[in-house]
Amino acid sequence: MKYQLVHPDSGEVIASGVVERIGDHDASVEHTQNGDTQNFSGAITNHREALQRALHLFDECGTDLRTSDLLAVGHRVVHGGKSFSEPVLVSDEVIAEVDRLSSLAPLHNPVNLIGIEAIRELLPDVPAVCVFDTAFFHDLPSHSATYAIDHEVAERHNIRRYGFHGTSHEYVSGAAAEFLDRDPADVNLIVLHLGNGASASAVRGGRAVDTSMGLTPLEGLVMGTRSGDIDPAIVMYLRRVADMDVDAIDTMLNKSSGLKGLCGENDFRTITSMVDDGDEAATLAYDVYIHRLRRYIGAYLVDLGRVDAIVFTAGVGENAPTVRRDGLANLERFGIVVDDDANAARSRDARRISTGDSEIAVLVIPTNEELAIARKAAALVR
């Protein structure tokens, strides 16, 4: 669980924290406020207790969130289904709908609800807002939102491509237009959000026209532990031939596939040094990752026709120069030329890493989902 106390206008981070290993006896909280870091370690049984711990650490640092003039609490909610295209104030109806959507995001929405209900109880006077990870992709053109399966089955079970990481794709698209000093309505972008989860999007004039994630966050790029695109027949084949049940296949594709499935590691720093040491499995994992990434870049170049910039963001996108170099190697004929020195330079700021004569700009733009959520929540409450 990650949280921030952030000023929505200035972006100033007053406090931030992360709770790890929730459900374990050796869970931990690291809370930083006004430059000081407080730690807790011990048992934390569930997400409700994690939130209580966090509020307690705010208290200990001299901020009682119950009496401070907190404008809103913004919750990141993974699946908004067809119902939510915009942030909404938390109400009984919204909670019921987020709960109903749990069947589409069984790993995420139930946990999001625990957080929403705990905050309702712990901070009853502060307005709470749900910001949906799917919202930016709610209005995808129907040709990219539709799976070519029996349309009656799809309709009955709400099967379509929803897309995820929307808050990040939207924030980064806006920041890229600002960086280029262009009106967002005139800018076409390919956004590559490469973290532990990874997704690509094609954005035309500030609106998403395609994205790599689908009904769930499993589709698309190779990720830390998720397979991304596979032949769907693999699922039936494993069911019939390997006698794996649906839950076992689900767990394999989500938790022990992707980079981890191929080389046993999902942290890109470890994989990069394994590749440098000549590890064969890590090299194959890296090559499969880059191959898939290039496929999506190619698809979106064609999809958009005119592209102004390709934007890298999130943990891997912001910090792994080899991924940016190899993902865009030998694309000069498509107007994409990465400047090796600019690419290799370390920085936390938004930056251009393409050469001056690269027709398509290549940018690294740090994502900031917390600030994006805070701004959306503040805008709605105000």
Residues contributing to the annotated binding site for ATP: 2, 193-197, 267-269, 315-319
User: Judged by CB under 6 A, does residue 224 bind ligand ADP?
Assistant: yes
Q: Taking CA 312 as the corner, what is the angle to CA 286 and CA 232, rounded to the nearest 5 degrees? A: 55
Supply φ then ψ for residue 53, to 5 degrees: -60, -45
Least distance between ligand ADP and beta carbon 197 (Å): 4
Least distance between ligand ADP and beta carbon 280 (Å): 20
Q: Compute CA distances 61 → 20, 21, 193, 368, whole Å.
A: 20, 23, 34, 24
Taking residues 184 to 223 in sequence order and writing x for each that binds ligand ADP by CB under 6 A, - otherwise, the string is -----------xxx--------------------------
Query: Could you tell me how many residues of this chain bind ligand ADP (CB under 6 A)?
Result: 13
Question: Which window, 72-80, 248-256, 309-317, 353-361, contacts ligand ADP (CB under 6 A)?
Answer: 309-317
Given 316, 328, 331, 336, the residue binding ligand ADP (CB under 6 A): 316
Catalytic residues: 133
Output 214 or 258, the one with its CB closest to ligand ADP.
258
Output 133 or 308, the one with its CB closest to ligand ADP.
133
Least distance between ligand ADP and beta carbon 368 (Å): 11
User: Judged by CB under 6 A, does residue 368 bind ligand ADP?
Assistant: no
User: Judged by CB under 6 A, does residue 320 bind ligand ADP?
Assistant: yes
Least distance between ligand ADP and beta carbon 167 (Å): 12
User: Judged by CB under 6 A, does residue 289 bind ligand ADP?
Assistant: no
Given 261, 315, 327, 366, the residue binding ligand ADP (CB under 6 A): 315
Output 188 or 367, the one with its CB closest to ligand ADP.
367
User: Judged by CB under 6 A, does residue 269 bind ligand ADP?
Assistant: yes
Taking residues 129 to 148 in sequence order and writing x for each that binds ligand ADP by CB under 6 A, - otherwise, the string is --------------------
Task: Provide the residue type at 126 as one letter.
Answer: V
Residues that bind ligand ADP (CB under 6 A): 195-197, 224, 267-269, 272, 314-316, 319-320
